[in-house]
Each structure stands twice: as C-alpha cells, then as structure tokens.
Amino acid sequence: MDINNSVALVTGANRGLGRAFTQRLLERGARKVYATARRPETVDLPGVEVLPLDIADPVSVRAAAEAAADVSLLINNAGISTGTDLVTGPLNAVRHELETNLFGHLGMIREFAPSLAGNGGGAIVNVLSAMSWFGSKGGNAYHLSKAAAWAMTNGVRLELAEQGTLVTAVHLGLADTDMAAGWPVDKIAPSDLADAALDGVEAGSAEVLADQWSRDVKSRLPLSPEEFSAAMDRALAELMAT
C-alpha cells in the first residue's frame, strides 16, 4: 500500500502518537486524513478533517464509519492505561482498559472493514505494545488488554486476508508522550514510531517492532516462564539504571 494519496483515519489524533501519525500522514502525501478524538476541539493540526469519536462507544464508532466511508487506511491508536493490577485493583478499571484497548479497536475494525473492502482492501494499523508479551506490577490490566489486542490482531488478519486488507501490528516499548512522562528512560520519538509503522504498511509487513526494547522482549518469548521472568527482571533493572 502507498501512503501517498491514501485516505486515512487516526484515532486519538489530538496528542501523543495519534498526533504524530496524523502529521506524518499529511507530510507523506495522504490525500485526506480524518483526525478523531473524544474532544474534537483539541485537534490542532491544520489540513485534516476532524471527527468526534469515542472508540468505546459503538454508536460513536458507527457514526465515524458512516462519515468516513472513503477510508483506505485505519490507524487504531487510541488507548488508555489505568495503572491497575488484576487481583487487587478495581475490576471496573480492568474492564475499562479491555473495553478501550481491545473491544474499542475490534469495534473500529468491524465497522470499517466493509469500507476498506470497497476501497480496494487497504490496511489497518493496530498500535500495540511490548507489554503484549510481559506483565508488570501496577500495569497488569494494561498487559492483559494489549495481549488480548495482539491475539485479536492476529485473528482479524486471517479473517480480512480474503478481502485484501493488510493488518499490521505495531509494538513498541516507551514513546516520548504524556503516558510515559513518569519514566526517566530512553523513549522513541512519536514521529519515528509513526514512520516505522507507515514504512511497515508500505512494505506489506504484518508486524513492526519499532524499537530495540520490543525486539528484545519478543526474542525472549521462547524461554520458559521462569527464564523469561528472570530475563525481564534484569532488563527492567538495567533500563531503570540507565
């Protein structure tokens, strides 16, 4: 797929990674970019078509799909992290992360799949995380939601292959956004993450490992659970010591 002359829709386009995706799409020649946000008035990039969208609200998702029926590239970026653990944290917070990070993305795919098929197949980018593969105290609800979203991404890739829709999973460690502001470690620039993802789409890639952290974590998956946990403990300790 060629980004130039594409029609893209970005969720959570008002800040962070979503804003970077939107800006790079414009700079790379997208014909039209729908910039969506729960509060559309917070989208500040010129040259976009702004749409209100709450991905956790099926009515809002359906309205966006009807308003943007010409989309050929869907960027599922919007997400949340509540800092919740699974056993001791509030169950409604766990459900909220799943509703947004899993069912929100799946709802977008279900509503936009017919339009993508009608527009030649196109592509979907699901912004996931290296935390699709590991848990961390204080972030296990996020881990659960991203692990489930990874499995969902692999499933819809198989289901949409017949209609010619590319589904690209994008994994990263930490990006230099508000969500990661409290982590004093090296982070990928949002524009670099957006470029890596869009390069992957143009290359027809099913998966983009956008930084060294995500590549390192995935390389450990063949280890036993005990070995994996010990390796991640060492890696996290080294990360915080840098």
CATH number at residue 45: 3.40.50.720
Residue 242 in domain: no
Cβ count within 10 A of residue 34: 23
Tell me what the pLDDT averaged over the chain comes to.
94
Residue 219 in domain: no
Q: Look up the pTM and report it.
A: 0.94
Please tell me the distance from the alpha carbon of residue 96 to that of residue 91, in angstroms, as a whole number.
Answer: 9
Question: For residue 183, what pLDDT is reported?
Answer: 54
Residue 84 in domain: yes
Dig out the tokens for 16 from the structure: 């962070």
From 142, 153, 194, 201, active-site residue? 142
Provide the 8-state DSSP code for 69. T
Please tell me the distance from the alpha carbon of residue 41 to that of residue 177, in angstroms, as a whole number.
Answer: 20
Q: Which amino acid is at 107?
A: G
Question: For residue 187, what pLDDT is reported?
Answer: 75
Report the domain count for the chain. Answer: 1
Question: For residue 179, what pLDDT is reported?
Answer: 63
- 142 is an active site residue: yes
Give the chain's residues under pLDDT 70.
176-185, 242
Range of the domain at 44: 7-213
Question: For residue 242, what pLDDT is reported?
Answer: 64
Please tell me the distance from the alpha carbon of residue 184 to that of residue 161, in angstroms, as a whole number.
Answer: 41
Task: Determine the straight-line distance between the first and last CA of the chain, rounded to whole angstroms.
Answer: 39
Residue 220 in domain: no
Residue 197 in domain: yes
Q: Which residues pair with 21 in a beta bridge?
A: none
Please tell me the distance from the alpha carbon of residue 93 to that of residue 45, in angstroms, as a whole number.
Answer: 31
Question: For residue 225, what pLDDT is reported?
Answer: 95
